[in-house]
Amino acid sequence: MVKALLSFLLLCSFSYAQNLSFNSLDTKVEVALDPLLVKIKTFLDEDTYTNNSEFINVIFDPKSDFYKNGRVDVVKVVQTLKENGLLKLYFDKPKELHLNFKTSGSPLFFVKIMGDTLRNIGYYRYVTTASHLDPTEFTWNISLRSEYATDPLVLEEELLKCGCHVIDIQRESKTEWTYIVDISNAYLHVRVLKSQEKRILKRSLYAHWLNVSQIKRLKIDSARGNRWHPYISYYDEALHLLKVLKKNRTYFTIQLKIPENAKYIKVSDLYTLKNIRNELTLFPSGAR
């Protein structure tokens, strides 16, 4: 009788263990087959994901809402995890934050766009730690001291102003993130000069970038008090340098003829932007 009872208990235990094993296996298979769950797991540690799996199923229902153009909408995924307290982007104290940016587009154009984007979201002091170009991809790595990891939604909103968007995010660690950015339809988010529309450039710590694709000529007047030594660069739509104009004496007015294939112009000073203490007035003409 005792032997029969022990046999029965062992059989039940084996059956229960099998069920646990199969249930665990089913869960792993489900995650492996679901791109959304796979991506969610990359942003969370194992314990956080396991302890909140049911809650995660609820906040990511329906799953179809988290796909865009046939791929996981990673920005929306991170934002949802953040809003529901599962992903904390703030650190307990300032730490060294490492950001890696990747693209298949022009390296020069990409660095310019990312530099402007980072400045617009408040990242002024960062250091380039590495860059790498191969036949299919360009990578730009930077580091900075920060109290929080970059908010992907804020970064995405700023990139959209330049016709770019984030197509994937990889969380390497709490302090290292990789962003893959599509710049196939990129453009600089700068003023577009139009014929007969006067523009005024205020004093700035940075060179002035302008879109000159719609004009043929440009007159620039420098206000009194300036000691402007014109340093003007022309670029095509991919930001390849076309022409540079340098003047080593002070100018108060200058007439420019825009090259036909020029889309952007950079207005600066040959020596220092401190020489442009007051405004520069632009007079575009000749529509094209």
Report angle CA 7, 12, 18 to the nearest 5 degrees. 125
Name, in order, each residue with C-beta under 8 angstroms of 196's C-beta and a sequence gap of 6 or more.
Answer: 284, 285
In this prediction, residue 32 carries a pLDDT of 55
User: pLDDT per position in the chain (288 positions), as tens?
Assistant: 444 443 443 344 444 444 444 344 444 444 557 899 999 999 999 999 999 999 999 999 999 999 998 899 999 999 999 999 999 999 999 999 999 999 998 999 999 999 999 999 999 899 999 999 999 999 999 999 999 999 999 999 999 999 999 999 999 999 999 999 999 999 999 999 999 999 999 999 999 999 999 999 999 999 999 999 999 999 999 999 999 999 999 999 999 999 999 999 999 999 999 999 999 999 999 998
Architecture of the structural domain at 90-182: 2-Layer Sandwich (3.30)
Q: Which of 151, 148, 144 is nearest to 166 (CA)?
A: 151
In this prediction, residue 2 carries a pLDDT of 42
In this prediction, residue 9 carries a pLDDT of 37
Question: For the chain, what are the domain ranges?
Answer: 27-88, 90-182, 191-287
**What is the C-alpha to C-alpha distance for residues 121 and 24, in angstroms, rounded to an integer?**
43
In this prediction, residue 69 carries a pLDDT of 87
CATH classification code of 191-287: 2.60.120
pTM for this prediction: 0.83
In this prediction, residue 262 carries a pLDDT of 97
